[in-house]
Structure 1
Amino acid sequence: MPNAHAPSALPRQLRAEAVSLTFSGVRALKSVSLSLERGRVLGLIGPNGAGKTTMVNVLSGFNTPGAGRVLLDDRPLQGLGADRFRRIGVARTFQGGRLFRDLSVQDNLEAAGVGLGMSRRDAGVEARRILHWLGLAHLASMPASALPYTDERRVGIARAVVGGPAFLLLDEPAAGMNDHEASDLRATIAQLVEHIGCGVLLIEHNVRLVLSICSHIVVMDAGEVIVQGDPDAIRGSERVRHAYMGTADGGDAALPAPTTEEACA
C-alpha cells in the first residue's frame, strides 16, 4: 500500500538507552535499553506490572524518562511531546482503544490525518485506502461506540497507520481475541511490515503470537529487562518461565511451541 504522505527519508531505528522512570518514589523502569529497527517485529513480554506499557509511553512521548534517553536514529527526542513523536514517525495503539466514540470509523482515521497536517480531502482518501487495505471498509460508517471489542482494536491499528509511520507500537492488540482472530492479526502485522516497511513493537500477553512473528524478544519483569533473544532462546529460558509463567524454579512449565501453521509461515 503506497503512501504519498510518508516522509521521503524515514528514520531507520528507534531506541531507548538506559531509560529509568520513577512514579511517586516507585521505580517503574530500571535502566531499560532496547532497539527497534525498520522492517522488523520486536516483541516485548512480561507479567502484569512488568513495565511494558510504561516503556511504550516513554517510546511514544507520553512519559519523559527521569534518566537515559530515547533516540530516533541519532537524534535525541528529549522534551518532545506525544504529538511531535507522532508527526516524526512514531505511532502507537492503546490497550483501551481510545477511539473517538462519537465519530464514525472513517472520521476517526480522517481526524488522525488532519492532525498530521493533511487536508480534509487527503485525509479522507488516506482513510478510505487504509480501511480497504486492512479489510475494514465495511465498518467505515459505523460509530466507533458501536464496534465490537476486537473490531475496535483493529480500527485502532488502522488509525495508527495513517500517515505511514516509521515505527508502530502495538500495546496488547490481541487482547480479547480468539485464536482465529489472533491469527488474522498476525497476518495484518506481517502486511504492515512488508508493505509499509515500518518497525513494529508488539507488547502482548499472547505469548504464542509473539513467538510466532517476532525475530527478537525482550522480556521485562519489575521494570527491568531480564532476558532478550530470539524465540528459541526465550522459549527455553528458565528465567523467563519463572518470571512469566509464575513457577518457583522454572519447573515443568513451558512457553508454547508454535503450531504447524505458525512454523510454516
Structure 2
Amino acid sequence: MTSTALSARNVSVSFDGLKALANVVLDIPPQRVTGLIGPNGAGKTTLVNVLTGFQAPDEGSVTMDGKDMAGITSFGIRRLGIARTFQSGRLFSELSVLDNLEVTGVGLGLSRREACAKAEAMLDWIGIASLADRIAGGLPYTDERRVAIGRALMMEPKYLLLDEPAAGMSAEEADDLIALIRRIVAEMKCGVLLIEHNIGLVLNICDHIHVLDSGEIIEDGSPAQIKASEKVRHAYMGTQAEAGGVVL
C-alpha cells in the first residue's frame, strides 16, 4: 500500500446475503492509468460505488493519500478530489452541456461567473466547445460520454474513475478517448481508474490492470502479465474468445 494513492483494502460488500465484493485490494496511484476488467456482474461498478462514497463497505476501508474515507458522503468525497462518471451518463438532460458543467462548478464552491468560465475552458480543453449550447438530453451517446468526462474533470480532481466510457464508441472514437485519457494524466497529473469491456483499449493504455470475477480480484499485473495469464484466460477472457471476442 502506498501513502499516495486511492486505495481499497479488504473491501467486502453483500446485498441480501449475496457477496458482491470479497476482500478486494486495489490501488489507484496518481499520474497512472489503472484498469479494472471483468465480466458483467463481477462487481466492478459496486467497487466504484464504494471508492466514491455511494456504497458503504460491509468490511474493509477506502483511503485517499492515507486519509480514511469512512463516513464521508459521496459529495464530500467529490470535493476532496475523487470524481467519477457513470455507465448511464447521468447528465442533467434538460440543461445545456455548458450548464451541466457549470452546475458542477457551483456545487464545488465556485461562483456562477467562475463556474461558467471554468466550464467553457473545460469544454474547449476536451475539444467539444461546439456542444456548449446543445441540450444534453439530445446528444448522441458518444458525445454524452465526453460531456460526462468533462463534468467529472471540473476543478481538476486528483483521481478520476471512468465507468465504461468507451461503450458504444467506434474504433476511431475509442482512439480519441485514449488520447484524451493520456492528456488527463499528463496535464492534470490525475490518477485514472478505467473500467472497460473494450479489452484492447485497456491493454493499450493501462499501466496496471486488475481482473475482477465474482467479486474477487483473481489477477493483477501489467498488460503483458494479464495477457499471458492462464487464470485470466480461463476465468474471463476465454469466454470472450469462445464467443468470438478478443483472443489473448
TM-score, normalized by length of structure 2? 0.95
Q: CA deviation at 1:57?
A: 0.3
- State the Cα distance separating 1:255 from its structure 2 match: 4.9
Which amino acid in structure 2 is aligned with residue 102 of structure 1?
Answer: E
Q: 2:203 aligns with which of 207, 211, 226?
A: 211
Give the SS at the match of 1:107.
helix
Equivalent in the alignment of 1:29: 21
**How far has the Cα of 1:254 moved from its partner?**
8.9
1:6 corresponding residue in structure 2? none
Q: What residue is the counterpart of 2:225 in the other structure?
A: 233
How far off is 1:241 after superposition? Answer: 1.4
Shift of 1:33: 0.5
State the SS of the aligned residue for 2:102: helix
- Determine the structure 1 residue equivalent to 2:160: 168
What residue number does 2:185 align with?
Answer: 193
1:146-157 → structure 2 map (5 Å cutoff): 146-157=138-149
Structure 1 residues 238-249: aligned runs within 5 Å: 238-247=230-239
Letter in 2 for 1:177: M
The 1:99–1:254 alpha-carbon spacing in structure 2 relative to 1, beyond 3 Å, is closer
Name the residue aligned to 1:7.
Answer: none
3-state DSSP of counterpart to 1:18: strand
Contact 2:238 2:247 survives alignment (8 Å): no
Q: Secondary structure at the match of 1:201?
A: strand
Query: How far apart in 2 are the matches of 1:17 and 1:96?
Result: 27
Matches within 5 A, 1:36-185: 36-185=28-177
2-side partners of 1:204 and 1:166: how far apart?
Answer: 20
Contact 1:20 1:66 in 2 (8 A): yes
Take 1:105 and 1:74, find their aligned partners in 2: how far apart are those partners? 35
Number of residue pairs aligned between Structure 1 and Structure 2? 245
Give the RMSD, CA atoms, in angstroms. 1.7
Q: Matched residues in 2 for 1:173 and 1:137: separation? A: 19
Alpha-carbon distance between aligned partners in 2 of 1:37 and 1:127, rounded to the nearest angstrom: 27
SS of corresponding position for 1:112:
helix
Superposition deviation, residue 73 in structure 1:
1.4
Question: Is residue 91–residue 167 contact of structure 1 (8 Å, CA) maintained in 2?
Answer: yes
Structure 2: distance between partners of 1:54 and 1:234: 22
* Consecutive unaligned residues in structure 1, runs of 5 or more: 1-10, 258-265
Q: Residue 218 of structure 2 aligns to a residue in which SS?
A: strand
Identity %: 55
1:16 partner amino acid: A
Q: Supply the distance in 2 between the matched residues of 1:179 and 1:87 (Cα, whole angstroms).
A: 34
Equivalent residue of 1:132, what SS? helix
1:33-82 Cα offsets, whole Å, 9 max, x none, are 00011100000000111100000000010000000000011111111111
Show CA shifts across 1:2-51 (max 9, x none): xxxxxxxxx93110000000111111000000001110000000011110
Deviation (angstroms), 1:256: 5.1
**Partner Cα separation in structure 1 for residue 229 and residue 40 of structure 2:** 19
**In 1, Cα distance between equivalents of 2:230 and 2:245:** 9
Q: Which amino acid aligns with 1:202?
A: L
Q: Deviations over 1:200-235 (max 9, x none)?
A: 000000000000000100000000100000000001
